[in-house]
A and B are shown apart, each in its own frame.
Chain A
Amino acid sequence: MNDASLRASPWPARAVGAGSLVALVAIVEALLRAGVVNRFVIPLPSDVLAAIPRVVAEENVLRRFVQTTQEMLWAALLLALVGVAAGVALHRYRMLKLACETWIGAFAAAPIVLAYPLFLVIFGRSAATIVAIGFCAGLPAVILKTTEGLGATRAVLVDVGRSFRLTPRQQFRLILLPAALPTIFVGFRLGLIFAMINIVGVEFLINFGGLGQLINEMAERYDLPGTYAAILFVVLASVLFFDVTERIERWARRT
């Protein structure tokens, strides 16, 4: 099947993707039932699926899902505003880029979640702490990819803009930004991944808020199917955010 036919109908690819996931789950189920993997470490996937209605009914999942999603949304907004603006500044001012790029890259690899006591001191045991840690964790990826995308704009496109006598603002809006948009969105998605991991992780660590706290409570009770069912809701939130970002990217490319 070629690229054109895949663009025309994405359903075969989606069916293969879903099928491979089902096959993977079936393999895990078979390994567990055969005793190759210990059921006290990993629950049966069928038990996890069966636990979903119980978790939904008894653990107030909807409220927790909304809370985690709200924290993600705030972190995403801050990442888009601050991260892209900082990336543009680094591209615009070469001195700033030379001065900061290396340590921002190092910051990306830092386990920021371990600094949660510091954030607790600053923001208290609140959603603000969780959002701040998620934001800080995702920020370097957005900054660096924004800078990379703007810097990778082909010189000839910039020359086309100059030949049409664009103002610096027009040059940015009509050429640099659209050219860099795919890379900026790659950075934004990466930033969201880091933010999501850290948001759920901090909820787990400080036993506050949404799905991370639920996972903590289920794990404390040694309710393995319930724990994994709660993790599925984290995956759902992640899928939701990625779908929304893809739609925003498509819209941004059209306009």
Chain B
Amino acid sequence: MFDVGARRDVSLAPPPRAAAAAAPLLDVAGLTKRYVTRDGTLTALDAVSFGVAPGEFVSVIGPSGCGKSTLFNIIGGLVGGYEGRVAVAGASIDGPHAAIGMVFQEESTFPWRTVQENVAFPLEIAGVPKPERLARAAHFVALVGLAGFERRHPAELSGGMRQRVSIARTLAATPEILLMDEPFAALDEQTRVLLGDKVLKIQQELQQTTLLITHNLTEAVQLSDRVIVMTYRPGRIKRIVDIDLPHPRDSDVVGSDRFGRYVAEIWHDLREEATRGIEDSEAQARRGGPAA
């Protein structure tokens, strides 16, 4: 079911521009998603198109209600009934695909399994014998910095550690594309920045193609080669910003002037959309409907 063979060669990440120039591994073309509500048809996504090159780290950022989670679920194959096309390495996909590994916003470890058993889960499904899968799981547990916690249960870990278990579990399936939906949303700012470091290190070490859905500006700039800015409802691509910060990168970059300029530039685009989102929520609340 999964390619659980050897990992791809480990080397430093290529310059982002070079990665962006390569043929996209993930291709999203003309994605439109509409929901029928009691107030009429709601267009969550409208003609969204972008590509993610092999080894590239791309973030999608936008205000609440811009369809980020819908985009995550469509690319992950959990939501159907859309117009447009999602393709991996040129082949259209429909439904969950072995090439895409998903990390969810909500805490998603299995509480009845130990850390190691959680991480070994995709290998168990793939039919890898127990001693081998536990050994491989130990490798991914160490990769996310949780060596020594293999026999602990999620209830014994902090929120940040549990999210790292989720990331390790997804990586253990060796997906070609790592798809993450605000995985650090529930964490405090310091933990978020430090976990960002960890994710970046793993991404660079594994040359992992990654698409991150987030609403956090610093996280998007810290981690990404490109940031896709979405408009508020309907979700359209407003702008794509290339982040030309040096690699390998860590959280020290947060203090640099260039980092600040990128954040200011993206915030300039985002502010208008976020304001529209808040105004829309308030208008709906005044009408007695659900807030956006």
For window 87-107 of B, CB contacts with A under 8 Å fall at 96-98, 100-102, 104, 106-107
A164 interface neighbour in B104, B107, B113, B121, Cβ under 8 Å = B121
Given A154-B106, A156-B108, A160-B108; A165-B1 close (CB under 8 Å) = yes
Q: For residue A137, give the distance in angstroms from its CB to the closest CB of chain B.
A: 30
B173→A164 contact, CB < 8 A: yes
Q: For residue B99, give the distance in angstroms from its CB to the closest CB of chain A.
A: 11
Q: What per-residue 1/0 map shows which CB atoms of A135-159 lie under 8 Å from chain B?
A: 0000000000000000000101101
B96 interface neighbour in A162, A175, A181, Cβ under 8 Å = A162
Q: For residue B104, give the distance in angstroms from its CB to the closest CB of chain A.
A: 5
Does A33 reach chain B (CB closer than 8 Å)?
Answer: no
Contacts of B76 in A (CB 8 A): 163
B125→A159 contact, CB < 8 A: no
Q: For residue A224, give the distance in angstroms from its CB to the closest CB of chain B.
A: 48
Given A154-B106, A170-B125; A163-B112 close (CB under 8 Å) = no
Q: What per-residue 1/0 map shows which CB atoms of B1-33 lie under 8 Å from chain A?
A: 100000000000000000000000000000000
A181 interface neighbour in B1, B112, B121, Cβ under 8 Å = B112
Q: For residue A154, give the distance in angstroms from its CB to the closest CB of chain B.
A: 7
B110→A163 contact, CB < 8 A: no
Q: For residue B200, give the distance in angstroms from its CB to the closest CB of chain A.
A: 23
- Tally of contact residues, B, Cβ under 8 A: 22
List the A residue with the shortest CB-CB distance to B106.
A156
List the A residue with the shortest CB-CB distance to B101.
A163
Q: For residue B246, give the distance in angstroms from its CB to the closest CB of chain A.
A: 33
A166 to B1, CA, bound (A): 10
A156→B104 contact, CB < 8 A: yes
List the A residue with the shortest CB-CB distance to B95.
A165
Q: For residue B128, give the distance in angstroms from its CB to the closest CB of chain A.
A: 13
Contacts of B101 in A (CB 8 A): 163
Contacts of A159 in B (CB 8 A): 78, 102, 104, 108
B108→A162 contact, CB < 8 A: no
Does B122 reach chain A (CB closer than 8 Å)?
Answer: yes
Q: For residue B182, give the distance in angstroms from its CB to the closest CB of chain A.
A: 13
Contacts of A72 in B (CB 8 A): none
A166→B125 contact, CB < 8 A: yes
List the A residue with the shortest CB-CB distance to B76.
A163
For window 114-128 of B, CB contacts with A under 8 Å fall at 121-122, 124-125
Among B76, B77, B125, the most chain A Cβ lie within 10 Å of the Cβ of B125
A163→B125 contact, CB < 8 A: no
Q: For residue B169, give the distance in angstroms from its CB to the closest CB of chain A.
A: 8
A154 to B173, CA, bound (A): 22
A112 to B40, CA, bound (A): 51
Contacts of B100 in A (CB 8 A): 163
Given A159-B78, A165-B96; A178-B121 close (CB under 8 Å) = no
A164→B108 contact, CB < 8 A: no
List the B residue with the shortest CB-CB distance to A175.
B110
A164→B106 contact, CB < 8 A: no
A163→B102 contact, CB < 8 A: yes
A179→B112 contact, CB < 8 A: yes
Contacts of A181 in B (CB 8 A): 112
Contacts of A179 in B (CB 8 A): 110, 112
Given A170-B125, A178-B112; A165-B98 close (CB under 8 Å) = yes
Contacts of A157 in B (CB 8 A): 108, 110
Q: For residue B44, give the distance in angstroms from its CB to the closest CB of chain A.
A: 18
Contacts of B96 in A (CB 8 A): 162-165
Among A164, A165, A166, A181, the most chain B Cβ lie within 10 Å of the Cβ of A164
Q: What per-residue 1/0 map shows which CB atoms of A94-116 lie under 8 Å from chain B?
A: 00000000000000000000000
List the B residue with the shortest CB-CB distance to A252.
B112
For window 21-68 of B, CB contacts with A under 8 Å fall at none
For window 15-69 of A, CB contacts with B under 8 Å fall at none
A251 to B191, CA, bound (A): 36
Contacts of A174 in B (CB 8 A): 121, 124-125
A165 to B106, CA, bound (A): 19
Contacts of B108 in A (CB 8 A): 154, 156-157, 159-160
A162 to B95, CA, bound (A): 9
A to B CB contacts below 8 Å, 7 in the list: A163-B77, A170-B125, A174-B121, A178-B110, A178-B112, A179-B110, A181-B112
Chain B residues with CB under 8 Å of chain A are 1, 76-78, 96-98, 100-102, 104, 106-108, 110, 112-113, 121-122, 124-125, 173
Q: 18 new A-B pairs (CB below 8 Å) besides A156-B108, A163-B76, A166-B125?
A: A154-B106, A154-B108, A156-B106, A157-B110, A159-B102, A159-B104, A160-B102, A162-B77, A163-B77, A163-B100, A163-B102, A164-B173, A170-B125, A175-B110, A178-B110, A178-B112, A181-B112, A253-B112
